[in-house]
Amino acid sequence: MAPKLEVEGLTTRFFTEEGQINAVEDVSFSVEEGEVFGIVGESGSGKSVTALSLIDLVERPGEIVDGAVWFRSPDLAARIEDDTPEAVDGDYVDLQSLSEGERRALRGTEFSTIFQDPMSSFNPSLTVGEQIAEAVEVQRRARANPRSVRSRTQGYGLAKFIGDSLLPTRDFVDDASHDRAVELLEMVGIPDPVERAAEYPHQFSGGMLQRAMIAQALAGEPSVLVADEPTTALDVTIQAQVLDLLAELQEDTGMTTVLITHNLGVIARMADRVGVMYAGEVVERGTLEDVFDEPAHPYTQGLLGSSPDLDGAADRLDPIPGNVPSLVDREMDDRCYFADRCPKAMGECLEKPPEFAVDGEHTAMCYLADHDYEEADALEEGYFDE
Amino acid sequence: MSDEHGPTPVSERTDAMAADRPLVRVRNLQKHFDREDSILDRLLGDTTNPVRAVDGVSFDIREGETLGLVGESGCGKSTTGETLLRLLDPTGGKVEYDGEDLAEHEDLFSFRRRAGVVFQDPFSSLDPRMTVGASIRQPLDIHDWPWPHSDVDTSRPKGELRRERVADLMERVGLSADQLDRYPNEFSGGQRQRVGIARALALDPEFLVLDEPTSALDVSVQAQVLNLLEDLQDDFDLTYLFISHDLSVIRHICDRVAVMYLGEIVEVAPTEELFANPQHPYTEALLESVPRASTDERDRDIEPLTGDVPSPRNPPSGCRFRTRCPKVIPPADLELTQPQYRAVMDVRRRIENRDVSLDGLDSSGGDAVETLFDRLLEGVDLPASERPHLREAFEALVEGDFEAAAETLRERYASVCERRHPDGERAACHLDADDVRLDADGNGVWVGEELDAPVTDTDS
């Protein structure tokens, strides 16, 4: 099967006053149609920026400086081939080279997102129903005319203000969209959807609101869902409900999902294939079994070893020493970024390792994936200390 | 407890202490938060119930052990910790520390030397304008360390001794003593949490409340801090109250665990027993809900709890978990399976909360009742014997008489779980009661005497 998404050399940087931050560094992975691809990493590993980069939602001072996100969509490829041939390769289009209008038309209809914090993702002054209906409306219009997509909150200027004041009843959202919003709420398991649609976000509990956000994300029947820490703000019993819901919807709609989380348990429950991120790089990727049962990168091994186990406690945890590096460009040498915390760092780790194949599609950015550890070549202890 | 010069050294304390007397005894501790109602609110009758954050919890903490307090957000676990330490004043109940009732202390100054706290958020619990050295030193200055009993050469200048102690504490928690003049913003989350721990240890306490000490940290750093806490416990003979929402961490570090739900403790047991054989349905659901980091996880069937946690302003009567419990105990003579019974109870709750829409019902005919069956019990296949009772309730509902409808259902379906507050040695659950018969699936049926009207907590 051809992959739905092919990410090639994606590089995102933030240009801040403190200097250039290399948040995402030359990241490549592919996502098969209908699968859940999990990206796991600790805070500051660049996993969320990777998600935002996929759908080009990176905001200033951040910028995607390199790379391509190839998205398989034969229809779109055929339609824009004449206008922007550089963005098309067979059935694939490169999201980075699309025109801004085309790219915006894809958001919601083809790509949708769920964020971590449902409380801050909804507008507190509009009812939940209105906000979902608006998403439905935008998607409907986008399908009808991909080049003119505007939501009510977009480009709100003086002219619009005068227009709205003169014609206060001018309704952006059509009744059919409202009905669809109620249907969506029902689909995500919200009881009494008609009544709940008329309520405001603060009247919802966190779990309910997360369901509502999923409903909104599904409004345009997207083919790719990017879920960034979708259950991190929730309690475990509610998390279990939401994960169940996501798995069910995934099965019903066959959408392709990119799931970003720091929680190894969530990855194990949901993902088919996994990418492990560290310091802006995907250091290991493969199927769930590859990565969890036969981790090749010492960071992945350390991550798995340092999580306390619920089903049988180890006497002592095996932490990774040290801290996650800062991603400020001038402080980063061109080496394996994990070498300073790695129990098996060797001389050659001072040069950045390429991605080695471990076994089939299982790859790791580590020399140990290529050859065995040579004690003679080990870096002396304290090599990286100031 | 201690003389005015400071606490007695650890060695003497242990000898003096009866072996089986717990270090901390909490009995029926209560903390309610009341909103200040303005005069206008009172005139308009717009007063609210207090938030019953902690509502009668009792537990012991034995010397040298780690007691875990686990629960979901809003269950009152942090408030319990803070109230226990008197950082908040309790609204009821008592806390005995080392045999003495804390309420009888006029000032808690000497108690503060013996009991410390580490907070969750290392970013907001340190003063950004103080160097970490000054932060760690602050308790030493306030309590005028060293005391005559202290294990140092008290003839030397106090300032010098305190500086040495701060450096020593920094080293002890895995930081370098040269970092003492740096400010918190120069440290990572894990390092700041180490600073918080060093500060809590400054006065050589015997008891620490650890309130989600690793929740803000990444797993690799969390493991470092957990190991550190274990080492410190061994080295300094510390007793911990470890508050966390993370069951894996609790299992790893605790000797005994208390599970909280909506302001109450629902189960207390030694860690291994609690995890191997949870007695309370809430504990069971909680354990089941945690996704495991293993490749078998995808095939593990879990039955997630339904619904949300009720408001602590107005908690359910009887057992507080009953609104979400998969094992609510039905009265004896019902022919309903557990899911059917739950469906009926959900309908009843909605009727009691006036949360049923009567729009579009034709109030004249039997069709309206059928419509209600469809709306409220869609997909539930009820045995014929129960339909008349529901029909009667729905007929009242069609007339708009919610009260009568609720009464009809209450009479027929009331559960022991709503009428009596559960009590139990280990788990506060009626499934343990003698008057409950258990079937093969572990579901119970009430076979005891007829129950009286519910005793609501809110009446008290």
How many degrees, rounded to 5, is the angle at CA A57 between CA A56 and CA A61?
105
Q: How do the domains of chain B map onto residue ranges?
A: 10-276, 338-459
Q: Which pLDDT score is estimated for B459?
A: 38
Local confidence band at B391 (pLDDT 50, 70, 90 cut-offs) = confident
- Taking the Cβ of residue A294 and every Cβ of chain B, the question of whether any pair is shorter than 8 Å is answered with no
What's the longest Cα–Cα distance across chain A? 80
| Those residues with Cβ within 8 angstroms of residue B382's Cβ, 6 or more apart along the chain or in another chain | B336, B340, B344, B390
Tell me if residue B397 falls in helix, strand or coil. Answer: helix
Local confidence band at A147 (pLDDT 50, 70, 90 cut-offs) = low
**Set of chain A residues whose Cβ sits within 8 Å of the Cβ of B222:** 306, 319
**Set of chain A residues whose Cβ sits within 8 Å of the Cβ of B191:** 323
Domain span at A139:
121-222
For chain B, the residues whose C-beta falls within 8 A of a C-beta of chain A are 72-73, 188, 190-191, 218-224, 226-227, 230, 245, 247-249, 251-253, 271, 275, 285-295, 297-298, 302, 304-306, 308-309, 355, 357
Comparing CB atoms, the residue among A237, A318, A321 nearest residue B72 is A237
Nearest residue to A2 (alpha-carbon basis) of A76, A110, A91, A86: A91
- Residue whose entry in the numeric block shows the structure tokens 């991120």: A277
Structure-token pair, residue A47: 């996993």
> What DSSP string describes A222-256?
-SEEEEESTTTTS-HHHHHHHHHHHHHHHHHH--E
Residue type at position B134: A
Local confidence band at B241 (pLDDT 50, 70, 90 cut-offs) = very high
- Pairwise CA distance, residues A317 & A315, whole Å: 7
| Burial environment of residue A247 by CB neighbours within 10 A (0 to 12, 13 to 18, 19 or more) | middle
Please state the ipTM of this predicted complex.
0.85
- Pairwise CA distance, residues B66 & A321, whole Å: 25
| Burial environment of residue B149 by CB neighbours within 10 A (0 to 12, 13 to 18, 19 or more) | middle
- Taking the Cβ of residue A2 and every Cβ of chain B, the question of whether any pair is shorter than 8 Å is answered with no
Q: What is the mean pLDDT of residues A101-128?
A: 86
Structure-token pair, residue A161: 């203000």
DSSP state for residue B179 in the 8-state scheme: G
The answer to whether A228 and A216 have CB atoms below 8 angstroms apart is: no
Nearest residue to A234 (alpha-carbon basis) of A222, A226, A245, A243: A243
Please answer yes or no on whether B252 and A314 come within 8 Å at the CB atom: yes
- Taking the Cβ of residue A198 and every Cβ of chain B, the question of whether any pair is shorter than 8 Å is answered with no
- Pairwise CA distance, residues A55 & A103, whole Å: 8
Q: Which of A240-244, B88-92, B150-154, B227-231 has the lowest mean pLDDT?
A: B150-154
- B91-111 burial: b if 16+ Cβ within 10 Å, else e: bebbbbbbeeebeeeeeeebb
**Set of chain A residues whose Cβ sits within 8 Å of the Cβ of B284:** none
Comparing CB atoms, the residue among A269, A293, A310 nearest residue B247 is A310
CA B206 to each of CA B10, B100, B115, B142, B432: distance values in angstroms, whole numbers, following the listed order:
8, 15, 6, 18, 36
Distance from CA of B107 to the nearest CA of A (A): 38
Q: Does 2.120.10.10 match the CATH number of domain B10-276?
A: no
Q: Which pLDDT score is estimated for B366?
A: 60
- Pairwise CA distance, residues B151 & B157, whole Å: 15
Residue A2 clears pLDDT 90, i.e. is over it: no
| Those residues with Cβ within 8 angstroms of residue B292's Cβ, 6 or more apart along the chain or in another chain | A265, A268, A269, A309, A310, A311, B300
Q: What is the mean pLDDT of residues B278-293?
A: 93
- Pairwise CA distance, residues B73 & B35, whole Å: 20
- Domain assignment present for residue A343? The answer is no
Please answer yes or no on whether B248 and A307 come within 8 Å at the CB atom: yes
Q: What is the mean pLDDT of residues B306-329?
A: 88
Distance from CA of B292 to the nearest CA of A (A): 4
Structure-token pair, residue B28: 């029926």
- Residue B95: phi, psi to the nearest 5? -125, 125
Task: Name, of A372-381, B181-190, B431-440, the range with top average pLDDT.
Answer: B181-190
pLDDT per residue as tens digits for the range A335-358: 999 999 999 999 999 999 999 999
Chain A residue whose CA is closest to B248: A310
Please answer yes or no on whether A310 and B220 come within 8 Å at the CB atom: no
Secondary element (H or E) of residue A273 = strand A273-278
pLDDT per residue as tens digits for the range B327-373: 888 888 788 888 888 888 888 888 887 877 777 666 555 678 888 88
Q: Which pLDDT score is estimated for A205?
A: 86
Q: What is the mean pLDDT of residues B83-101?
A: 93
Distance from CA of B203 to the nearest CA of A (A): 27
Query: Quick one: residue B223, left, alpha or beta (phi over 0 = left, psi -120 to 50 = alpha)?
Result: alpha
Distance from CA of B321 to the nearest CA of A (A): 13
Residue type at position A50: T
Distance from CA of B325 to the nearest CA of A (A): 12
Q: Which pLDDT score is estimated for B14?
A: 44
Tell me if residue B161 falls in helix, strand or coil. Answer: helix
The answer to whether A138 and A130 have CB atoms below 8 angstroms apart is: no
- Taking the Cβ of residue A9 and every Cβ of chain B, the question of whether any pair is shorter than 8 Å is answered with no
Residue B234 clears pLDDT 60, i.e. is over it: yes
Suggest the residue from A306, A309, A318, A331 to mutate for an interface test with chain B (most B CBs closer than 10 A). A306
Q: Are strands B207-211 and B239-244 parallel, antiparallel or unpaired?
A: parallel
Q: Are strands A362-364 and A281-287 parallel, antiparallel or unpaired?
A: antiparallel
Structure-token pair, residue A229: 């820490």
- Pairwise CA distance, residues B48 & B383, whole Å: 42
- Pairwise CA distance, residues A233 & A210, whole Å: 9
- A:321-340 residues touching chain B, CB 8 A cutoff: 321, 323-324
- B368-393 burial: b if 16+ Cβ within 10 Å, else e: bbebbbebbbeeeebeeebeebbbbb
- Pairwise CA distance, residues A283 & A230, whole Å: 23
**Set of chain B residues whose Cβ sits within 8 Å of the Cβ of A195:** 357
Chain A residue whose CA is closest to B190: A323
- Domain assignment present for residue A146? The answer is yes
Q: In chain A, how many domains are there?
A: 1
pLDDT per residue as tens digits for the range A180-226: 999 999 888 887 788 889 999 998 888 889 999 999 999 888 999 99
Structure-token pair, residue B459: 């009446």
Chain A residue whose CA is closest to B74: A235
Suggest the residue from B195, B224, B294, B302 to mutate for an interface test with chain A (most A CBs closer than 10 A). B294
Please answer yes or no on whether A237 and B286 come within 8 Å at the CB atom: yes
- Pairwise CA distance, residues B147 & B8, whole Å: 10
Cis peptide before A61 (omega within 30 of 0): yes
| Those residues with Cβ within 8 angstroms of residue B298's Cβ, 6 or more apart along the chain or in another chain | A268, A269, A270, A288
Nearest residue to B321 (alpha-carbon basis) of B337, B331, B334, B308: B308
Residue A229 clears pLDDT 70, i.e. is over it: yes
Residue A311 clears pLDDT 90, i.e. is over it: no
Distance from CA of B225 to the nearest CA of A (A): 9
Q: Are strands A36-40 and B115-118 parallel, antiparallel or unpaired?
A: unpaired
Nearest residue to A245 (alpha-carbon basis) of A288, A187, A176, A159: A187
- A:226-265 residues touching chain B, CB 8 A cutoff: 235-241, 243-244, 262-265
- Pairwise CA distance, residues B244 & B216, whole Å: 11
Q: What is the mean pLDDT of residues B245-266?
A: 95
Structure-token pair, residue B25: 């005894």
Nearest residue to B410 (alpha-carbon basis) of B331, B338, B298: B331
Positions of E strands within A48-188: 62-72, 88-89, 92-94, 111-114
- Domain assignment present for residue A144? The answer is yes
Structure-token pair, residue B396: 């009242």
- Residue whose entry in the numeric block shows the structure tokens 């098969």: A32
Q: Which of A186-195, B35-44, B142-151 has the lowest mean pLDDT?
A: B35-44
Tell me if residue B198 falls in helix, strand or coil. Answer: helix
Strand partners for B257: B68, B269
| Those residues with Cβ within 8 angstroms of residue B325's Cβ, 6 or more apart along the chain or in another chain | B281, B282, B319, B417
Nearest residue to A112 (alpha-carbon basis) of A4, A258, A318, A295: A258
pLDDT per residue as tens digits for the range B393-452: 888 888 888 888 888 888 888 888 988 889 888 899 998 887 888 877 778 888 777 666
- Residue A273: phi, psi to the nearest 5? -130, 155
CA A38 from centre of chain: 9
What's the longest Cα–Cα distance across chain B? 96
Q: Which pLDDT score is estimated for B335?
A: 80
Structure-token pair, residue B295: 């490749």
Distance from CA of A118 to the nearest CA of B (A): 16
